[in-house]
Amino acid sequence: MLTPETIVTRLSWGSALLASVAAVAAQNPGTKSPAASPTSFRFEATGDKSLGLWEGDRPVFVYHFGAVTSSNAPNARSRSNYFHPLYGLDGEVLTDDFPQDHDYHRGLYWAWSHIRVGDQEVDSWSLRGIRYQFQRWLAKEARSDGVRLGVENGWFVGDKQIMRETLWLRVQPRSASSRAIDLELTWTPTDRPVTLLGAEGKSYGGLTLRFGPRSKTMITVPDGRTSGDLVVTNLPWADLSGDLKKGSGDLSGIAVFVNPAHPDYPPTWMTRHYGLLAVGWPGVTPKTLPAGEPVTCRYRIWIHRGTPDAAEIQRAYAEYCATARRRRADKD
């Protein structure tokens, strides 16, 4: 697996190459440059188990579709089906993987501490007794006006697939101060019901975002900045910002927006100032998904510069809700 530092190094080589090609093209106006547009998106493998996305010469994310490990955490379990790094607008790494305090945390991911099938219980949160397995790409489209990525995965307990999962991702071009990534997850139990349950008294279990190291942390929810951590708290969105761009002192962060059509909206959350935003669905009350019946959860990952206040984040959330309503109307 390529490390974020290796990816950044390769990017610097790529930037130098693009500069060289541009210089040659300037001296020979009739020559067409093979270089991509500086604002176009492109996918590129970052290993045999990972797919990276770039916008021009800036990285956006790496998606690990195959199981990866880390030499920095030799005792940690392998993991797949998650995003790390997620990058800020200036190329800073926003997420963490294999952190020392919770080595099973992994960038942007979705997992539950209690998954019941029949009389068996497994735990995808700490990677015990269950694994995600890549099945196929449903779409891999990168254009100048955005990206569409579709993936089908299976949840396996032993050799038995218990869940079909589809992941759809839409990535918008970055603006001067933010980027929106829309995420749609659909789960369909195969031949037996599957029960999901979050952590008792905390509610985590579902979409989760682990942030990278920083010395400053600000968590904002609709009521404003929070000084303490939250558990089992109903929220439509939450934001974590900090000094994630090493050595600069600049601040940036990510908000997670919940689609208004989400089951049991607004869901419960857990937030941690050590660097975690966790949407808890179904939370502390178990939810049994019948065999063959899909359930869909949609979110927006809003990456931004600075530390926006609650009013600014709420405006961005309102824009997301309006977009979601238009998409539902178009489907209807």
User: CA-to-CA distance for 242 and 36, rounded, in angstroms?
Assistant: 33
Question: Do the beta carbons of residue 11 and residue 108 sit within 8 Å?
Answer: no
User: CA-to-CA distance for 251 and 307, rounded, in angstroms?
Assistant: 7
DSSP conformation class of 28: -
Burial group, residue 262, by CB count within 10 angstroms (0-12, 13-18, 19+): buried
* Averaged pLDDT of the chain: 90
Is the predicted pLDDT of residue 22 greater than 80, yes or no? Answer: no
More confident residue, 150 or 20: 150
User: CA-to-CA distance for 81 and 166, rounded, in angstroms?
Assistant: 11
DSSP characters for 140-177? EEEETTEEEEEEEEEEEETTEEEEEEEEEEEEPPP-SS
Lowest mean pLDDT of 23-32, 247-256, 276-285, name the range.
23-32
Question: Do the beta carbons of residue 91 and residue 11 sit within 8 Å?
Answer: yes
Sorted by where each begins, the domain ranges of the chain are 106-331
pLDDT band at residue 1 using 50, 70 and 90 as cut-offs: very low
List the one residue out of 207, 175, 178 whose CA is nearest residue 83: 207
Radius of gyration of the chain, Cα coordinates, nearest whole angstrom: 20
What is the arithmetic mean of pLDDT over 186-206? 98
User: CA-to-CA distance for 77 and 68, rounded, in angstroms?
Assistant: 9
Strand partners, 206: 111
Is the predicted pLDDT of residue 4 greater than 70, yes or no? Answer: no
pLDDT of res. 37: 53
Single pTM value for the model: 0.88
Is the predicted pLDDT of residue 3 greater than 70, yes or no? Answer: no
**Residue 295 CA neighbour count, 13 Å, CB half:** 18
List the one residue out of 255, 259, 286 whose CA is nearest residue 271: 255
User: CA-to-CA distance for 279 and 257, rounded, in angstroms?
Assistant: 10
Helix (H) or strand (E) holding 13: helix 4-27
What is the arithmetic mean of pLDDT over 39-48? 93
List the one residue out of 252, 307, 246 whose CA is nearest residue 4: 246
User: CA-to-CA distance for 321 and 318, rounded, in angstroms?
Assistant: 5
pLDDT of res. 18: 35
